[in-house]
Amino acid sequence: MSICSNISDLNRWELDTLTILLWNANMLKQHLYVPNYCEDQLLHGKVYFIKWGVSTSCRWIFHFAHLRQLPVLVPYIPTENPRLRDTAYEVALVALATNTSFHKDLLSIVKTWPPVIYSALPVISAIEPQLNTSSSTDALKEALAELYVIDGQYEKAFSLYADLMKPDIFDFIENHDLHDAIREKVAQLMMIDCKRAVPLFIQHRDLISPSDVVSQLRTAKNKCDYRYFLHLYLHSLFEANPHAGREFHDMQVELYADYDPKMLLPFLRSSQHYTLEKHDDELWEELIKQCLNKPEMVGVLLEHTVGNLDPLYIVNMVPNGLEIPRLRDRLVKIITDYRTETSLRHGCNDILKADCVNLLIKYYKEARRAICLSNEEDESRTKRIIKTGPLSLLRDL
């Protein structure tokens, strides 16, 4: 007869039923010492339920724990009518935690047992050393998180929930006011739900700076599409405050080009913090390639290259036979502008040289002036004259 059928018939430990009594106690002791036994072996014989006292029930629980077979009995331990000693429940939870095969059962028990019947701290102390070992499982981590919640250690619970990628973590943050704790879990929160994570980071950027968010997302580049997350965050940050993430505006230019090209031009018009000269040569080269098959655009490009690019470079790249409207007038304008620019540069150089000569002459004159030198005795006499006046000094003489 299996234990499951008896439990279902009697609704497990129905009200005042405490534990299981075997028809033959000697058989129980005999089978307790058989290694790798199963329930049918252990409970061979006719099973009855009677009202045992709390002390007797606890004694059997500790005996099963000593034999490392307590996980088999845990599902049938009553939580009320009668309620056992706290240590009995704690020993039962620890027994489940130390066996990887029962970690899911541990999670289920932690969620169903009333927290008031045991102390979570001893169980936490038994589980924590397992987190960084091969015996750690997701079920064990979640059970530990539940125990942290029971013990009021909400930040530690949040850390585990974030690592486990729990979708309801944002409600957990709001319910327990854990905004300070989000600083270390940026990447996890973005991977769980970026639509909720981004407004959270923007709203609490006094607690977690844009540089912290960007740094953590870059660190997680092997775990997620970090550039897309950067785009979402920096775009929302720019809309909230155009100056808040100004040190990342150069990066945003690339991100807009990759993920939202239609927003690139409005961003370039609105921001004043990106580097205009960055990749200037590459941009000019790309612009020239785009214009080579359009004669009118080549002419316009020739008119605007003076001061930015060598006009001969463009002329040499123009295909043979391409008819450019008003080419003669435009070449004349290029030469005129080039001469004007050259003249201005020569004039600026002459002015700069003249300023250098004038400053050098002034420095030379100042350097030739005499410098007053005196010994310590003359300095002390001068100070006495200033303090007491010349008449008192004459009296001393």
Same domain, 142 and 223: no
In angstroms, how far is CA 265 from the centroid of its own chain?
A: 29
Inter-residue contact 274 to 249 (CB < 8 Å): yes
Residue 293 burial (10 A CB sphere; 0-12, 13-18, 19+): exposed
Indicate whether 209 belongs to any domain. Answer: yes
Indicate whether 378 belongs to any domain. Answer: no
Give the per-residue pLDDT at 282: 73
Query: Given 100, 133, 152, which residue is the final one in a domain?
Result: 152
Inter-residue contact 96 to 109 (CB < 8 Å): yes
Same domain, 312 and 333: yes
Inter-residue contact 176 to 145 (CB < 8 Å): no
In tens digits, the chain (397 residues) has pLDDT values of 334 433 334 334 333 333 443 333 344 444 444 444 444 444 432 232 234 567 777 787 888 888 888 888 788 788 877 788 899 999 999 999 998 899 999 999 999 999 999 999 999 999 999 988 888 899 999 999 999 999 999 999 999 999 999 999 999 999 999 999 998 899 999 999 999 999 999 999 889 999 999 999 999 888 889 999 999 999 999 999 988 888 999 899 899 989 999 998 888 888 877 776 655 667 777 777 777 778 888 878 777 776 667 777 777 777 787 788 887 888 888 888 888 888 998 999 999 999 999 999 999 888 888 777 666 666 665 555 555 554 444 444 4
SS3 content of the chain, % helix, strand, coil (to 5): 70, 0, 30
In angstroms, how far is CA 143 from the centroid of its own chain?
A: 24
Indicate whether 372 belongs to any domain. Answer: no
Same domain, 142 and 37: yes
CA 269 → CA 232, 245, 304, distances in Å? 19, 16, 20
Domain residues for 350? Answer: 279-364
Eight-class DSSP state of 320: T
Give the per-residue pLDDT at 48: 29
Indicate whether 62 belongs to any domain. Answer: yes
Indicate whether 388 belongs to any domain. Answer: no
- Going by their DSSP bridges, the two strands 47-50 and 19-22 should be labelled as antiparallel
Inter-residue contact 288 to 275 (CB < 8 Å): no
Give every CB contact of residue 85 below 8 A, 6+ residues apart in sequence. 54, 58
CA distance 174 to 178: 7
Task: Write the single-letter amino acid at 253.
Answer: V
Inter-residue contact 105 to 75 (CB < 8 Å): yes
Same domain, 146 and 158: no
Indicate whether 384 belongs to any domain. Answer: no
Same domain, 173 and 78: no
CA distance 117 to 103: 20
Same domain, 254 and 286: no
Query: Given 101, 123, 152, which residue is the final one in a domain?
Result: 152
CA distance 196 to 132: 30
Same domain, 7 and 137: yes
Task: Tell the residue number behind the tokens 């790309």, with chain if given.
Answer: 286
CA 45 → CA 14, 41, 77, 153, distances in Å? 21, 9, 21, 46
Inter-residue contact 43 to 20 (CB < 8 Å): yes
Inter-residue contact 252 to 267 (CB < 8 Å): yes
Query: Given 274, 298, 332, which residue is the final one in a domain?
Result: 274
Same domain, 104 and 210: no
Same domain, 143 and 159: no
Same domain, 98 and 113: yes
Could you tell me which residues are beta bridge partners of residue 47? 22
Indicate whether 351 belongs to any domain. Answer: yes
Same domain, 132 and 1: yes
Same domain, 124 and 253: no
CA distance 13 to 18: 6
Indicate whether 294 belongs to any domain. Answer: yes
Domain count along the chain: 3
